[in-house]
Structure formats: C-alpha cells, structure tokens
C-alpha cells in the first residue's frame, strides 16, 4: 500500500475529516489526513507520494493560489481539489485546480476524485476517437469521388 499514491485530505473539522477519510478508504483509496495545508505541504516536500490534494480554501494561512503553486512545486502532477461553500464557488479556482461545492459526503467526494483522476485518460481516448471518426469520413469522401 505505501507505493500507492495517496489522497491528501486537509480538513480543519476533525469529525468531517474522519468521516470523509473513512468513506474514501472504503472505496479503496489510500488517504493521509491533515488538519492544515502547511502540514500537507511539509509531507509533500519530504517525498510523500500523492496523486491528489483535497482541501478547504481557508485551512491555514495560504491562499488557494499559493497552496496550489507550492503543492505543484513539490509534486508537479498533483491534482488539487478545493471544497468550497456555495458562496465562495463563484470565485475562479486557480489554473488547473478543481472545485467541489459543499456539503460533501464521502461517496460524492470519491466520485469526484475518480472523475478528476480519469480526465487526462478520457481526453486522450476522446481525441483518438475523434481522429478515427474524422479519418473515416475523409476515407468515405475519397471513395465516393
């Protein structure tokens, strides 16, 4: 299990963090919990292998942009998900980061994590299919001429 990339879960509310972590673990994810974003950044800088950082925007002293940049400096391929209140969701997330509107339960967070993790793979599959369908249309036009 230590070789499996972790989900870094940063939530200030210990009870909420425990519920989310338990649900994600039930879905087969490796979860490492932190109360502050700074603690998660220290772990990343020490070499913790992580695939995703799930955090609240106001955990610690860092802004969303600072947190995203520092996390990506430590782990360039890290996906970042901010859990936001409906009011805060009107603000744009930092480039390359994702936002999930509260309230959040473990099942919904798990589905969102899987969606974010699948995006690059889905994008390449869709691009390949588009190219194939486009080449089929061109081939059909060539034969018809």
pTM: 0.76
Size of the chain in residues: 145
Tokens 């799930």, residue? 54
- Residue-wise pLDDT for 7-26, tens only, equals 999 988 899 999 999 999 99
Q: Where does the chain have alpha helices with state H?
A: 14-26, 37-45, 64-74, 106-144
Report the alpha-carbon distance of residue 51 to residue 88 in Å, rounded. Answer: 25
- Residue-wise pLDDT for 47-58, tens only, equals 999 999 998 876
Q: Are 56 and 82 in contact (CB under 8 A)?
A: yes
Model pLDDT, residue 41 = 92
- Residue-wise pLDDT for 95-127, tens only, equals 778 888 888 899 999 988 888 888 766 656 655
Structure token digits, residue 89: 């969701």
């Amino acid at each position: 299990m230590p070789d499996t990339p972790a989900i870094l879960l940063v939530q200030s509310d210990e009870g909420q963090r425990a519920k989310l972590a338990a649900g994600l673990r039930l879905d087969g994810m490796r979860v490492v919990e932190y109360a502050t974003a700074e603690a998660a950044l220290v772990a990343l800088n020490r070499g913790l292998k992580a695939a995703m950082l799930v955090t609240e925007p106001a955990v610690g002293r860092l802004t969303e942009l600072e947190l995203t940049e520092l996390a990506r400096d430590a782990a360039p391929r890290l996906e970042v998900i901010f859990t936001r209140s409906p009011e805060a969701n009107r603000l744009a997330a930092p480039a390359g980061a994702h936002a999930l509107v509260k309230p959040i339960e473990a099942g919904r967070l798990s589905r969102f994590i899987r969606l974010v993790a699948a995006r690059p793979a889905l994008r390449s599959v869709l691009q390949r299919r588009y190219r194939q369908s486009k080449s089929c249309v061109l081939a059909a036009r060539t034969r018809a001429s």
